[in-house]
Every structure is written in C-alpha cells, then in structure tokens.
Amino acid sequence: MPHKIPNFNDIQDAHERIKNFIHKTPVLSSTSINDILNVELFFKCENFQKVGAFKFRGATNAVRLLNKKEAKRGVTTHSSGNHAAALSLAAKQLGIPAYIVMPNNAPEIKKKAVKGYGAKITFCEPTLQAREETLSIVQKETGATFVHPYNNFNVICGQGTAAIEFLHEVDDLDVIIAPVGGGGLMSGTVISSKAIKPNIKVYGAEPLNADDAYRSLKEGVMFPALPPNTIADGLLTSLGSLTFQILRENLDGIFTVKEESIKKAMRMIWERMKIIIEPSSAVPLAAIIENEELFKGKKVGLIVTGGNVDLDNLPF
C-alpha cells in the first residue's frame, strides 16, 4: 500500500493546531563560531522546546488529532528517549493516558522524565523485538493508539513545523541541515523548506558510525541501523518506510561525520554559545566543520534537536 505523503498544507495545518501548546523556540547565532568556520550559521534551538526536544511538536500534533474515543484510550509507544517524554507530556496536557514501553537499560534521567509526566511505564529487554512484543501486549490490553516516533504521518507534520518558524525568522538561508535518525524531523524539514524556499538546499547529517540513512538513500534500499557505536544516541534508529520515501524524493544529500567531529562540535556549542545540547544536535555542526570549504560564506541553518544529556556522563 503506498503511503500518504504529507504536503506543506498538512504541515501548516499542524502548526496552527499545535502552536499554542509548543514553544516558539529562539534562533541563535554565534559570532565566534562564524569567525572560526567562515560561515554564517543560525541555530534553531529545539533544545529549548518543551521536554527539551523537537519531538514534542510531532507528539502534540498526533495526540491532538485523536478522535474522542481514541483519546479516551490513550496513546502508546516504545522509546528510550525524547519521544517517550514528548508523548507523555502531550498526553498529560490533553488529559489522556500514555503507556510507554522502555528498555530496562534506558538512562535514569529519561525514566525520571517520563514518570514525571505521569505516563505508565512498562519495562522490557533492550532489543527491538522485545520492545515491539511488549508494545503489542500493551496495545491489546489498553486499546491505546500507537504513535510511532517517526514513521507516522502526523508526527512528521508536527516535526516539519520547526522549519516553518525557522524560515519565517531567517528568510534568506542558503542551506538547512538537520540530524537524521529515523528521519521524522528530516522529512518534515525538507517538505516545509522546499515549499517555502524552492531553491534552498536541504541536507541531513548523521554519524559515520550510524550511516544507515546515507547508505539507504545511496543504494535505494532500506538498511537497518547498525549496532550503535556513536555518542549521538538520538540517531541510532533506521529510516521507516514513509521517511525513506520522503527523503529519497526530496533530500539533497546526507553528510556523514566522524565521532571526533561530533564531540568537537558539541563542545564548541557548549563553550561558545553557552547552551546545552545533546550529542545528536551537534551532528549538523560537525558536518560544517568537516566541510568548511563547501559552506564558506553561506547562510546555513542548523536544527538543534534537543538538550537532554546525562550531566553525570558527558563525552568530555
């Protein structure tokens, strides 16, 4: 069955739907980083979004589109990360239950956040199989609607709203770069950006050690995520059928970056901009660092995806 692909109208509708529930996050710049890298960078700071990540946009759009009967039964997902917190808070704001399946090795800070938003957590073994099986049981028991973290029409529409705000605030960007994990943010970003500014270049950035999206788009077949070996812990998932199709048709390319560049970029943002970002959020700046000549003198927008880091376990 072919997927229904979101278009820009769908994303604009999503923005109208969610804009009173989300933060319109700031766009920041750093003269010193610009000077170091010979480029004019703009950072769309979704680390300041509710729950500390862009995921709140998609989750809010998804829960606000449930009908009355669905809403009563609540929502469910499996996630060890920001999507779990985002869906929990979005559900809480609407006054409906959220059932989260989490691997039992998820970071304490994420468990605490999800609990704090009042979700019911079911722990499982840290394998994709266990997560999917446990989710299936939870779904049967509760009748909750599964909100996939990225391979979901409404979630993609929600994530695409960040680019609308971004290009509204800085309307002459030459390039936008976002990190690619499952491709939800990337899909929404490319649809919005190309609709608003057809000649803009939109690139993904992913760790070389988790370059499944790069290889999938290059070969035209979906590669699964490799065993995780990157500090960018938000980018371990592989593309879904829907995001694969959107990115294949629209994206201008994907930059793969080394771990040391990610660490360098993360530290540069912490030290120069005084904002807390998670490693995944540093991946687009790592792409600039590794390809300085390519972006020289250009106006480049980077989406900072989140700020949830374990302060007891920093990469530097």
Q: Is there binding between residue 277 and its own copies (CB under 8 A)?
A: yes
3-state secondary structure of 120: strand
Q: Scanning the structure block, which residue is given the tokens 């792409």?
A: 287
Contacts of 218 (CB under 8 A, 6+ apart): none
Q: Is there binding between residue 161 and its own copies (CB under 8 A)?
A: no
Nearer to its own copies, 183 or 307 (CB): 307
Round to whole Å and give the CA distance between 308 and 107.
11
Round to whole Å and give the CA distance between 256 and 242.
22
Amino acid at site 3: H
106-125 residues in contact with its own copies (CB under 8 A) are: 109
Of 30, 44, 50, 55, which is the active-site residue?
55
Nearer to its own copies, 94 or 276 (CB): 276
Take residue 29 and report the two structure tokens written for it.
């710049």
Looking at the DSSP bridge assignments, the partners of residue 75 are: 98, 145
Minimum distance of its own copies from residue 275's CB (angstroms): 6
Take residue 253 and report the two structure tokens written for it.
């390319």
Q: Is there binding between residue 274 and its own copies (CB under 8 A)?
A: yes
Choose the binding region for its own copies from 67-75, 143-151, 155-163, 305-313 (rule: CB under 8 A).
305-313
When binding is defined by CB under 8 A, the residue of 9, 26, 72, 229 that contacts its own copies is 26
Q: Is there binding between residue 36 and its own copies (CB under 8 A)?
A: no
Is 80 catalytic? The answer is yes
Minimum distance of its own copies from residue 178's CB (angstroms): 18
Contacts of 141 (CB under 8 A, 6+ apart): none
Minimum distance of its own copies from residue 279's CB (angstroms): 14
Is 30 catalytic? The answer is no
Take residue 66 and report the two structure tokens written for it.
């449930």
Choose the binding region for its own copies from 189-197, 242-250, 268-276, 293-301 (rule: CB under 8 A).
268-276
Contacts of 177 (CB under 8 A, 6+ apart): 202, 203, 204, 205, 255, 284, 287, 288, 300, 301, 302, 303
Q: Which of 251, 145, 272 is nearest to 206 (CA)?
A: 251
Q: Is there binding between residue 138 and its own copies (CB under 8 A)?
A: no
First to last CA, the chain: 47
Nearer to its own copies, 48 or 153 (CB): 48
Q: Is there binding between residue 19 and its own copies (CB under 8 A)?
A: no
Nearer to its own copies, 112 or 248 (CB): 112
The residues binding its own copies (CB under 8 A) are 26, 47-48, 52, 109, 267, 270-271, 273-277, 307, 311-312, 314, 316
Q: Which residues are catalytic?
A: 55, 80
